[in-house]
Amino acid sequence: MKEILIRPLVTEKMTALTEKLGKYGFIVDKNANKIEIKKAVEKAYGVDVLKVNTVRYDGKRKFRYTAKGIIEGRSQGYKKAIVKLKAGDTIDFYANV
């Protein structure tokens, strides 16, 4: 089975969403659908998921100026899932630290 949840998103913006609305963010596999993400979060953290929203981000174009000329590339794209939990459920990302 492929790994669906790659890592949790712990940023200031996601922390504010968590405190205000009970939503949590994850970087997930690009090919995972909402049903697979819901099952993976419920299995990994033992919570009830009400809603899953997903967003795909393309990699940004990057340029580096060197002595031999301009080197062009792209940063890696990713898929982000924002998960809303049932009232009263929480996820502690810092429990295993």
CB 4 within 8 A of CB 26: no
pTM assigned to the model: 0.83
CB 80 within 8 A of CB 9: yes
Is residue 90 situated within a structural domain?
Answer: no
Report pLDDT digits (tens) over 21-78: 999 999 999 999 999 999 999 999 999 999 999 999 999 999 999 999 999 999 999 9
> Structural domain tally of the chain?
1
Task: Give the pLDDT score at 97.
Answer: 60
Q: Which residues contact 49 (CB under 8 A, 6 or more apart)?
A: 38, 41, 42, 83, 84, 85, 86
Q: Which of 82, 7, 86 is nearest to 44 (CA)?
A: 7
Question: How big is the chain, counted in residues?
Answer: 97
Task: Give the pLDDT score at 1.
Answer: 38
Which residue range is the domain that position 25 belongs to?
Answer: 5-85
Is residue 37 situated within a structural domain?
Answer: yes
- The CATH number linked to 65 is 3.30.70.330
